[in-house]
Structure 1
Amino acid sequence: MKAFLAVLLCLFCQPLSARNAQNVDIAFLPDVHFHDIYADFNSAAFQGIKLAGLNKPVSIRSMAAQLHSTRLFNENYFALISALDDIASRGIKFVALPGDFTDDGQPAHLQGLKTLLKEYEKKHGMRFFAIPGNHDPVSPFGKAGGKSDFLTATGTEIGVFSLEHKNCQPTKRRITTPTICSEAIKHAGYADIMAQLAPFGLTPDPRDVLWETPFSKDRSKSSLTFRHYKQCSSDKKTCVSMPDTSYLVEPTPGLWLLAIDANVYMPSLVSSEVHFQGSGNAGYNKILTEKPFLLTWIKEIVARAKVENKTLIAFSHFPMAEFYKQQSPAIRDVFGHEAFQLAREPLSSTSDVLAKTGLRLHIAGHMHMNDTSVTRTPENVLVNVQSPSIAAYRPAYKLVSVHNDVAQINTIKLDEVTHFNALFPAYLVEHQYLTATHSKAVWDDNILHARNYHEFAKAHLLALARMRFFPTEWSKVFKSELLDTSLFNLLQKLPTHTDTLPSKDLQLLKSTTLMDFVGDFYMLRNAGSLALLDIPQSHQLAYIELANQLRNRNRLANQEVDAACSNLNKKDATWCLVGNALAQTLSIFQQLNQDKYDECVVVKFDARNAANAVEQCDVASARNQ
């Protein structure tokens, strides 16, 4: 009897490190793009802007600059604090930062981020696990940097550049705006980032059950000195010893976090100097050819996790799968190969290779989008979760809740941000200056009427859609003067339009403009199903009606639309092409509208049957998170 009891007890005497993670939550915050608004550039010529309610003068960039960027530069400071407060209120101790945690890797922002994270570590017992993105660093070994659009108290712009930048060298300077020079804004390299943020996962912590890199399992070899690989140019004539900061950590028994440094900087020799191509469009397509050692390492980690019964979650900055719900070919047809950042999308063959490593769950950033893709191969199911950014529409983060062999991934919206409008008085002065000087850079000040951070981020995206996306991405058959035209009037201008297609919903087309559709299109692209909460029902019904009308138009043409357009006179042919492009775009819009996983998804790590590995959540209950 005693022997039997001893055997029974032994079943439970295995060390905790050999068991799956039990009831662990991890928050994922990619693309924070942290800009320390209190950064001091040590210059009497620029001491920031004093604003009521804020402790110190702020060093911020202009609203005009923000409205041409895919991210907010300034408000993300407050957004990060609110996100961390929300995470703390949920009792979450582990926070992953999958790249672009700084604006551009500047020392001032690195130091500010370090100070903030340390504060939350001390106050709430949090632990942070960072891995670099293409903005941190911009270049692997650092380089001159700066911005020309910092805002002054009078509403004008001033440049801040590092000492080696050409704008801080009078003989090379090309801009006429006032300029100050400070090393606090240079583009830091890997060494600088490690010097500041090493404690946040990039080097081992005594609390870690396990910590290792692709280069060594020896914790004493955690410095960059031991973490290099050879990177050669495309022609193989220039080779550089390049850092890689990937690591595997077990912060609590049973949970393995695999942080993959997916940056690839291709070197080239220019005038006897080595230059590096940015990492933004490289991603996992380049990992396969330039950093194959990472694939070998991932396979090894996956195999070990299964043997040792670990819950393995990977994260990196770049997506491992497509993020347009299989609509990329259609997007290329309508908008071209350069639009919509299609260069950043992994090839399907790349996703297959990554799925064959056995990896089940990967959290990514980079795209500032809310999306979940599932890659199925005979060997595995790879779930790639695209986490939105708190610095763009729609601001949110991903919460992964693990219990045994199951993970539920929820999307936590960041609608309310304390002090989100604290900088508005400075923007108002800027707007007044631009208006008074009749500047072409003047922007719509309705954005300053936003009632919360969610509305502010939405207004930012809609302005971006009008000022940048529409002019550069949409077919040239769409002219800017059409943006405020109703969909009904557009339909009336199409050469094959007929009045024999009455509909009770035509009134919806009269009250909905092309700009409404463009804005809703980009909201849906960025936020997935979360955008449906912001797109009016009347707009959605109008788009259905317009699609029906265009389908009838094409049927009435009684031939292929493109051929029909080519047979018309020049004016009618142009409008015919508008109708064709609009019909194709509506089809893409409707497909982007179909997503059952992007808001909440359940992933089963031990499911051998691909059909059972991924499940849809109860979205209604998930929204109450």
Structure 2
Amino acid sequence: MPSTDPFRFAILSDAHVHDIAADYGLPDAPEALSVRPLADTMRSTRVFNESKAALLRALEEIAARGIRHVVITGDYTDDGQGPARTAAQAIFCEAEERLGLRIFLTVGNHDVFADDGRHRTKRFLTASGGYGVLTSDPERRDPDARFVALRPDMRCLGSPAGLAPFATFGFMPREDDILWETPFGTDPDPEARRYAVTSPDGQRREWLFDASYLVEPVAGLRFLMIDANVFVPLNPGQMLADMTFEDSTNAGWTALLRHKPFLLDWIGRAAEAARRDGARLIAFSHYPVLDPLDGTGADERALLGETDMVKRRPSPEVAEALIAAGITVHVSGHLHVNDTAQGRNDGGVLTNIAMPALCGFPPAYKIATLCAEGLGIETVSLDAMPLDARLMQLYAREAARDGLETGGLLAAGDYGAFLHAHIGRIATRRYLKRDWPQDLAEAIRLLTLGDLAGLALTAEPVTLEDFLRTGGLAGAGVAEAGKAGLVDPSLSDLPATELVGDWYRLRMGSDLGLKAIAAERRTAYAALARAFAGRDWPEDSLQRPLALAMRMMTAYAEGLPSGNFTLDWDSGAIRGD
């Protein structure tokens, strides 16, 4: 960069804005608020009603730091519905007009769908109890709902129509941009930015809009904003009334290599031009280009099978292609994971900085400081954000009325505590139920940390079948001696489901997850991991999957720095701060 002064900009991701103050036309809204049920939040990987407040707070804090440029790596709307688009657009306009920020967007899989969109259906609390349904789908029915109301603007639009309200936030050029282009040239007209994609059987060929762009907002710094959504036409025999394209959620960069090869050519040209001009180039897209979970893919497949996270990990060919194209730094969202990953070959090194979500654990954004020697990253938590008292009262009423087990959510004193409780809740009520093998999940619900210590130390393996048949460890010859030395007696009776909650806190938060786990628990988990790793457990033993889980947990805890760190431009070396 021409100047030697450090330059700062902010990055955030996955705001998933839902506006509780928006007028959805609900016939029976509690306190005139459009509130999604707590029951839905407790089944989701993200929270809904707090999302707008989290985005507003992040932007206010960023402006207060004197930062003026903000990159958002997609999923800025809840699910692409009209009221969510309106709310997000209003927030970004106010941020620019009142706070003096400049917003740059990439597009996520929740913001648009293919060219014509798709239906969305959401539940809302009612003042009289229960829930009502708003939907864009005229065929939707729900016999348990207080009402089912057809509202066409609940539909998620396609692209470019769904991006039109956000055109000024990077998708179209501005007069003060030093450089702005797309993979197709400098013409911003959507019709000049289309590409062909064909169904697997070759019978359908569609021309879709690509929202990628390159912008130089300040001299010597270029943002390469990549539309990595890949919507492949379904074969004619597979098409449904409202689903004529494959969902992009699991596609990501692996599909991009096949269906958007023109992007790689453009990326290579952009990287070469940046080198020629002495500019720093940073790439952004919604999807990761490297495995953001510390190389645990093989263990996850062995332990849990083809989970959503396994499906969403990019193939090794992605990193190879981007290194060959000259990309060194890429920032992603989508997985709601705070992590750092690197890939190296003889051609260079690629670093992927994975962004946490504003609406999930851990809620945070990042400040990037660009200087001659490297890129500094500071991760800023939103834990201290106050909770909306109106929402907490509505949640309490819903929980009492419907008999919800809220798992500490209602006792939370701030946003951080709320999301800490939320991930603990979904760890056992969603992930353990959906992703983990049923027999292993059943065993985990019966175990304590003391039991795990005994299993790690016992001389004879215990089969999972025998454990479940006998209903526990009694009479199974599990070691008692030495357990206290492995796990502090004060933690011996802690349910193993608590470990599962912390397993997911580490998985999603890395450095931030470590900070969210009590020191005595971290010590116990490390000791258990070492003990389980000391044996080659038989295939049918209960210890074998437990050892895999503990090895993955160790990898989450010991990966590259992901909170505050500095990345060296030339070597790719990362130094934790």
TM-score, length-normalised on structure 1? 0.84
1:210 aligns with 2:185: no
Quote the residue 1:299 is aligned against: 268
1:248 aligns with 2:214: yes
Q: CA deviation at 1:265?
A: 0.6
Quote the residue 2:459 is aligned against: none
Alignment deviations for residues 77-126 of structure 1 (CA, whole Å, 9 cap, x no partner) = 11111111110111111111111110111111111111111111111211
Change (3 A) 1:502 1:516: closer
1:601 aligns with 2:565: yes
- The partner residue of 2:84 within 74, 89, 109 is 109
Change (3 A) 1:482 1:325: closer
Q: CA deviation at 1:349?
A: 2.2
Greater gyration radius = 1
- The partner residue of 1:118 within 84, 93, 116 is 93
Change (3 A) 1:340 1:461: same
1:145 and 1:161 in contact (8 A); partners too:
yes
Quote the residue 1:535 is aligned against: 517
Q: How does 1:549-564 map to 2 (within 5 A)?
A: 549-550=531-532, 554=535, 561-562=537-538
Quote the residue 2:226 is aligned against: 260
The 2-side partners of 1:190 and 1:349 are apart by 28
- The partner residue of 1:517 within 483, 489, 499 is 499
- The partner residue of 1:130 within 105, 124, 129 is 105
- Secondary structure of 2:206 counterpart: strand
Equivalent position amino acid for 1:76 in 2: S
Q: CA deviation at 1:201?
A: 0.6
**What count of residue pairs does the alignment treat as equivalent?**
553
The 2-side partners of 1:349 and 1:546 are apart by 36
Quote the residue 2:319 is aligned against: 351
1:154 and 1:430 in contact (8 A); partners too:
no
Equivalent position amino acid for 1:251 in 2: P
Q: How does 1:158-307 map to 2 (within 5 A)?
A: 158-162=132-136, 164-167=137-140, 173=141, 175-177=143-145, 178-217=147-186, 221-268=187-234, 269=236, 270=238, 275-307=244-276
1:365 aligns with 2:333: yes
Change (3 A) 1:430 1:369: same
Q: CA deviation at 1:561?
A: 2.9
Q: How does 1:364-403 map to 2 (within 5 A)?
A: 364-403=332-371
Quote the residue 1:557 is aligned against: none
Quote the residue 1:25 is aligned against: 8
Q: How does 1:378-457 map to 2 (within 5 A)?
A: 378-404=346-372, 406-435=374-403, 442-444=404-406, 446-457=408-419
1:464 aligns with 2:426: yes
Equivalent position amino acid for 2:397 in 1: V
Alignment deviations for residues 457-482 of structure 1 (CA, whole Å, 9 cap, x no partner) = 11111111111011111232324474
The 2-side partners of 1:322 and 1:481 are apart by 29
Quote the residue 2:542 is aligned against: 578
Equivalent position amino acid for 1:283 in 2: G
The 1-side partners of 2:322 and 2:340 are apart by 16
Quote the residue 1:61 is aligned against: 36
1:141 and 1:191 in contact (8 A); partners too:
no
Quote the residue 1:314 is aligned against: 283
The 1-side partners of 2:16 and 2:135 are apart by 18
Change (3 A) 1:489 1:286: same
Change (3 A) 1:384 1:20: farther
- The partner residue of 2:130 within 126, 143, 156 is 156
The 2-side partners of 1:340 and 1:541 are apart by 30
2:387 and 2:414 in contact (8 A); partners too:
no
Q: Decide which moves more: 202-211 or 137-146.
A: 137-146
The 1-side partners of 2:23 and 2:564 are apart by 41
The 1-side partners of 2:311 and 2:341 are apart by 17
Alignment deviations for residues 305-348 of structure 1 (CA, whole Å, 9 cap, x no partner) = 00011111111100010111111111111111x22511000112
Alignment deviations for residues 157-207 of structure 1 (CA, whole Å, 9 cap, x no partner) = 110012x4312xxxxx45442111212311111133222111111101111
Equivalent position amino acid for 2:363 in 1: P
The 2-side partners of 1:601 and 1:90 are apart by 19
- Secondary structure of 2:538 counterpart: helix
Q: CA deviation at 1:31?
A: 0.6
The 2-side partners of 1:385 and 1:420 are apart by 31
- The partner residue of 1:339 within 302, 307, 314 is 307
The 2-side partners of 1:186 and 1:100 are apart by 16
Q: CA deviation at 1:542?
A: 2.0
The 1-side partners of 2:572 and 2:529 are apart by 36
2:178 and 2:217 in contact (8 A); partners too:
yes
Q: CA deviation at 1:237?
A: 1.4
The 2-side partners of 1:128 and 1:288 are apart by 28
2:233 and 2:244 in contact (8 A); partners too:
yes
Equivalent position amino acid for 1:389 in 2: A
1:64 and 1:443 in contact (8 A); partners too:
no
Change (3 A) 1:216 1:278: same
2:250 and 2:308 in contact (8 A); partners too:
no
The 2-side partners of 1:598 and 1:510 are apart by 31
Q: CA deviation at 1:279?
A: 0.5
1:258 and 1:314 in contact (8 A); partners too:
yes
Change (3 A) 1:545 1:20: same
Change (3 A) 1:127 1:84: same
Q: CA deviation at 1:24?
A: 1.9
Q: CA deviation at 1:525?
A: 0.1
2:537 and 2:543 in contact (8 A); partners too:
no
- The CA RMSD over aligned residues, in Å, is 2.1
Structure 2: unaligned runs, 5 residues or longer: 456-471
Equivalent position amino acid for 1:598 in 2: S
1:34 aligns with 2:7: no
The 2-side partners of 1:174 and 1:454 are apart by 34
1:159 and 1:180 in contact (8 A); partners too:
yes
The 2-side partners of 1:42 and 1:196 are apart by 22
Change (3 A) 1:88 1:166: same
Equivalent position amino acid for 1:36 in 2: D
The 1-side partners of 2:505 and 2:214 are apart by 35
The 1-side partners of 2:60 and 2:240 are apart by 50
Quote the residue 1:49 is aligned against: 30
Structure 1: unaligned runs, 5 residues or longer: 1-17, 51-56, 168-172, 436-441, 555-559, 566-576, 619-625
Q: Decide which moves more: 268-277 or 112-121.
A: 268-277
Alignment deviations for residues 495-541 of structure 1 (CA, whole Å, 9 cap, x no partner) = 45234546534425513320111001000000001111121122122
Change (3 A) 1:62 1:272: closer
The 2-side partners of 1:419 and 1:71 are apart by 15
Quote the residue 2:296 is aligned against: 327
Quote the residue 1:487 is aligned against: 449
Moved over 6 A (4+): none
The 1-side partners of 2:232 and 2:516 are apart by 41
